[in-house]
């Protein structure tokens, strides 16, 4: 199927482009003409990426390059298929119409995949961020072999929907639960997704999808999405708290994603908070290592378990508990109040440690908690004098795919520029 949602990935701020008034970096003395030409090509290309569309005169004004130099660079970029004619602008006086150029969004494409416990979601966008195709398939896998096959099928189906061959995909980013162990090349801390942490899965996915893949944590990618186009757009600091079947935290600090020393920053499910009723110390230690007390208390399974222990016997999923609480069921309301109290403890801890200013709540549970109740704010007021702003994540089920595409676009721009300029012999 072809999607109509535009620009799913535009807006990530980790790439620095020239702004109005910036000048081109002057090369060192002794620089060869070939190096100068390459520098000019890159300067002009990045100017166009920043502006979207511009005439040669506008490019020259922004980069401080001469008009002949800009014309030569634009011609090189056109030959490489990186820039295309976008139209003409009428003259302001008696001069000639201005020729307008823009980056060619069809120079390459990116693929983003979200590997979740229930769904595998895939999307393709061009270099402008325009979404060409989206496809979701139910994840019925029970182990590594099934999972690899289903992810490859999701990638293949969305490429077919976009009518693209594998070689047109410049970058693929795959998001999933857990943290990548680079030495063993596998995800860890992802017990809820069968087969995902098995040895060789990532290599097998690259082989079956047919392109070089960058793997990332799903909550980290959802954080990128909210920073680029969501509730945290324009913010230099915020925390994204994902509460669904699992619990995770994305930290966006000083304008970039913070990962920590080993990539495990944000694994708040392992915080030693909450009570594990009826377990001895050995059992408690096992739960902390495997799942974590926070996740056990406010993850989906933990909430359902707590509801049933509290007397809401017929509840088998969190949605049903939400519906009962909205309908005024007194027991369900009390259960949700306790859940919000536990969540408030977690938020107060995060705020005290990193002072993000804004907490974006995402995931199926997190979005509902912020939307449905002001009591969370009241709980926080009782626990801490620090007052973070709370916001509901703007991206729901699309969050990880949007973040994957946004992240892939950052990688793809540089790769495509290098490949295209090298192909015509113009890259030094």
In the predicted structure, residue 230 carries a pLDDT above the cut 90: yes
In the predicted structure, residue 157 carries a pLDDT above the cut 90: yes
In the predicted structure, residue 402 carries a pLDDT above the cut 90: yes
pLDDT (0 to 100) of residue 54? 93
To the nearest whole number, what is the mean pLDDT of the chain? 86
In the predicted structure, residue 19 carries a pLDDT above the cut 80: no
Which is more confident, 70 or 314? 70
Contacts of 300 (CB under 8 A, 6+ apart): 244, 245, 317, 318, 364, 365
Residue showing tokens 């270099």: 127
Average pLDDT value for residue range 14-21: 42
Region of residue 274 (phi > 0: left; psi between -120 and 50: alpha; otherwise: beta): left
Distance, in Å, from the CA atom of 371 to the CA atom of 368, rounded to the nearest integer, reads 5
In the predicted structure, residue 11 carries a pLDDT above the cut 50: no
Reported as a single tens digit per residue, the pLDDT across 95-111 is: 788 899 999 999 999 99
Reported as a single tens digit per residue, the pLDDT across 32-46 is: 788 888 899 999 999
pLDDT (0 to 100) of residue 135? 94
pLDDT class for 15, splitting at 50, 70, 90? very low
In the predicted structure, residue 119 carries a pLDDT above the cut 50: yes
Domains of the chain (ranges; CATH) run: 33-103 (1.10.10.10), 107-221+399-417 (3.30.420.40), 233-392 (3.30.420.40)
pLDDT (0 to 100) of residue 212? 78
Average pLDDT value for residue range 207-219: 91
Distance, in Å, from the CA atom of 186 to the CA atom of 196, rounded to the nearest integer, reads 8
pTM for the full model? 0.85
Where b means 16+ CB within 10 Å and e means fewer, 232-250 reads beebebbbbbbbbbbbbbb
Q: What percent of the chain has pLDDT over 70?
A: 86
pLDDT (0 to 100) of residue 35? 85
In the predicted structure, residue 29 carries a pLDDT above the cut 60: no
Which is more confident, 28 or 49? 49
Reported as a single tens digit per residue, the pLDDT across 342-377 is: 899 999 999 999 999 999 999 988 888 765 557 788
């Amino acid at each position: 199927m072809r999607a109509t949602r535009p620009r799913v990935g535009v807006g990530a701020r980790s790439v620095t482009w020239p702004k109005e008034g910036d000048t081109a970096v002057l090369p060192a003395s002794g620089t060869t003409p070939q190096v100068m030409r390459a520098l000019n090509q890159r300067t002009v290309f990045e100017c166009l990426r920043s502006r979207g569309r511009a005439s040669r005169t506008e490019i020259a004004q922004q980069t401080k390059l001469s008009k002949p130099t800009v014309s030569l660079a634009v011609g090189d970029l056109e030959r490489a298929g990186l820039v295309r004619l976008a139209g003409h602008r009428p003259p302001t006086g008696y001069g000639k119409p201005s020729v307008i150029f823009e980056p060619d969004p069809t120079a390459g494409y990116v693929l983003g995949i979200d590997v979740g416990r229930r769904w595998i979601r895939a999307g393709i966008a061009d270099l402008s961020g325009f979404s060409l195709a989206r496809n979701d398939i139910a994840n019925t896998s029970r182990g590594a072999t099934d999972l690899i096959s289903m992810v490859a099928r999701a990638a293949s189906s969305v490429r077919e929907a976009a009518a693209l061959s594998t070689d047109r995909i410049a970058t693929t980013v795959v998001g999933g639960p857990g943290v990548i162990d680079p030495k063993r090349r596998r995800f860890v801390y992802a017990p809820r997704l069968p087969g995902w942490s098995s040895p060789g899965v990532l290599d097998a996915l690259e082989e079956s999808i047919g392109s070089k893949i960058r793997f990332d944590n799903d909550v980290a990618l959802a954080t990128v999405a909210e920073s680029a186009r969501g509730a945290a757009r324009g913010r230099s600091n915020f925390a994204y708290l994902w509460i669904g079947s699992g619990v995770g935290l994305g930290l966006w600090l000083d304008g970039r994603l913070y990962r920590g020393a080993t990539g495990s920053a944000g694994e708040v499910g392992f915080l030693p908070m909450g009570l594990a009723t009826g377990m001895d110390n050995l059992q408690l230690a096992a739960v902390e290592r495997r799942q974590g007390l926070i996740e056990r208390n406010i993850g989906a399974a933990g909430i359902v378990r707590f509801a049933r222990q509290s007397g809401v016997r017929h509840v088998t999923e969190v949605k049903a508990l939400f519906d009962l609480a909205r309908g005024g069921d007194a027991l369900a309301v009390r259960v949700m109040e306790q859940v919000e109290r536990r969540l408030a403890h977690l938020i107060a801890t995060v705020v005290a440690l990193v002072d993000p200013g804004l907490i974006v709540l995402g995931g199926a549970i997190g979005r509902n908690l912020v939307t449905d109740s002001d009591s969370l704010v009241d709980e926080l007021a009782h626990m801490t004098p620090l007052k973070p702003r709370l916001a509901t994540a703007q991206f729901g089920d699309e969050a990880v795919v949007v973040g994957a595409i946004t992240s892939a676009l950052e990688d793809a721009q540089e790769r495509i520029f290098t490949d295209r300029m090298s192909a015509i012999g113009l890259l030094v």
